[in-house]
Amino acid sequence: METLAEIKARTETVAPGARLEIVSNGSPSQQASLRIDNEHAVEIARFLRDDPELRLDFCSNVTGVDWLDRTIKKTVKVKQVVDGVEKEVDQISEEVIPGYLEAVYHLYSIARKHGPVIIRMRTADRTAETQLPSLTSIWRSAEFQEREIFDLYGIHFDGHPDLRRILMWDEFEDYPMRKDYREPDDYEYEPTPHDDVLEKAKRHYAPRPQLDGAEKITAQP
């Protein structure tokens, strides 16, 4: 199979103006991925599926990723005059990267028996601009998994044929897989609270009236 750099180069020729970036992976798997821009995402996905050499005809899974705001420290060498002598010294700067959400697709070729090729898309932020194009029209297996990401992360997939919650109930608020999610202590929708859930739920139970001795005897069955 072609390298990710070769796939990137060929994709750029068939999708002029597309912005692609190889994202390295520092984990033991060392599985780099290809970040694709949202505007050309469907066009790029169609190429990856239909290209005779790639034939990435199967999307095995789609996962969501939540990136909070983070600060990255960078160290660069700068020349400064120290005690009348020019020296190279380390200068540390900080870069604040606003948070965003991602959808990551793992692609294989059943026809060519190779893969995975991993592609990813990124939202503008974590609050209002959380739209991404749906790739369900290219890989039907992405339908339920995009719904799950919508349900748990809050990414709105434009063009999805049936975008609605799949795990949480319709009245549920917030997105449980986000890193800043805090579970509520009000479990009014929990049908059978138990253990620690029950203890939290008891905080919202109406207090029972205290009975005196005579009332207790009368109240006995």
What are 204's two structure tokens? 């919202």
- Distance, CA of 94 to CA of 98 (rounded, Å): 13
The CATH number of the domain covering residues in 4-65+102-176: 3.30.460.80
Give the model's confidence band at 220: pLDDT under 50 very low, under 70 low, under 90 confident, else very high: low
Side by side, the strands of the sheet bearing 114-122 are: 20-23, 33-36, 114-122, 100-109, 58-67
**pLDDT above 90 coverage of the chain, percent:** 62
pLDDT in tens, 30-48: 899 999 999 999 999 999 9
pLDDT in tens, 78-126: 888 777 788 888 888 888 999 999 999 999 999 999 999 999 999 999 9
Q: Is pLDDT of 221 > 70?
A: no
What is the longest distance spanned by two Cα atoms in the chain?
98
Q: Which residues are CB-neighbours of 221 under 8 A, at least 6 positions away?
A: none
pLDDT at 215: 52
pLDDT in tens, 153-189: 999 999 999 999 999 988 888 999 999 998 776 655 5
Other beta carbons within 10 angstroms of residue 198's beta carbon come to 13
pLDDT in tens, 3-36: 999 999 999 999 999 999 999 988 888 899 999 9
pLDDT in tens, 182-211: 877 665 555 565 677 777 767 766 666 665
Question: Could you state, in order of their start, the residue ranges of all structural domains in the chain?
Answer: 4-65+102-176
Please say whether the beta carbons of 181 and 175 come within 8 A: yes
Mean pLDDT of the chain, nearest integer: 88
**pTM of the predicted protein model:** 0.79
pLDDT at 65: 97
Residue type, 174: D
